[in-house]
Amino acid sequence: MQHLIEVGGLSKKFGSFQAVKDLSFSVSAGEVYGFLGQNGAGKSTTLRMLLTLIHPDEGSIRLFGHDLKTHRKEILSRTGGLIERPDVYPYLSAFENLQLFARLSGLRLSRQQLMDQLATVGLAQRAQDKAEVYSQGMKQRLGIAIALVHQPELVILDEPTNGLDPQGIADIRQLIRSLSKEQGKTIVVSSHLLTEIEQVADRLLIIDKGVKKVEGTAAELFSGEQKLVEVTTPGAAQVLDQQLAEIPFPATVVGGDKLQFSLTEPDIPLLTAELVKRKIPVFGLVTKTKLEDYFLHITGRS
């Protein structure tokens, strides 16, 4: 598969602060590429460099087979981006905002073309409402519509679900899938939320303190069969020593009142049965993927 994005040895400093250091990665045409890292990891800085909003100190960026330095105008004409929160005019309707940004891009689109764009992001029914009455999730979708107005092949989204409620997050997630699977666009999406990246990305890169940690599919980065089950119970260490010593599930004590088990999914109900059988009080039971644990370990937070 052809690489649409090729980044090599990218570095950027702000004064003495090293935001990105010797970062290299590639993105294939048509895939959703997840850029995962804690806040301040260097995600936004990297995406801003891809959009020429800031310039790297070192390294190379090639998009669509061309050097970004020498083919900037051509590359950006094929690229759409939304960095942080969208900058829209609150006193204009969604339709008027989209029409204005289309004209600023040198486009003269028909009313139907603009409405089709709003329909793509689920705003056709609210096209005449002013942006000031929109929820944050609706503003995000309007921002994405603006980024898509010139029909780009590559779409770069920086933390598109940041600050949204669960429904807003689900809407953006579905939109990303639709843009990729139905329209064939290449999507680069950043987030500090593991669960969001895991659900939409074909491949992902974990970055921490400006440095690439790992890159690959979720299946390559962790064992999908293994789960971490965290059980909250008083006196966890005593419970493990005296009541659960003979069960065939490895466990460790976490934080004094939690037991953490590493299990396959079919073993979870068996563990639950053992806890009930021994009349062990359970105040909470949370299942996590190994990827979540791996992410925290990779970024030094575990």
Residue ranges of the domains in the chain?
A: 3-221, 226-298
Of the chain, the end-to-end C-alpha distance in Å amounts to 36
Max Cα-Cα span within the chain? 75
Region 3-221: CATH code: 3.40.50.300
Mean pLDDT by 10 residues, the chain (302 residues): 89 96 95 92 96 96 96 96 89 96 92 95 95 93 95 95 87 93 95 85 92 82 68 87 82 80 84 90 82 69 60
Q: Give me the helix-helix angle, 136-147 and 166-181, nearest 10°.
A: 20
d(C-alpha 136, C-alpha 141), whole Å: 9
Phi, psi of 189, rounded to the nearest 5 degrees: -130, 130
Could you tell me which residues come within 8 angstroms of residue 209 by beta carbon, excluding any fewer than 6 positions away? 18, 21, 41, 42
- What's this model's pTM, rounded to 2 decimal places? 0.78
CATH of 226-298, one of 3.40.50.720, 3.30.70.120, 3.60.9.10, 3.40.720.10: 3.30.70.120
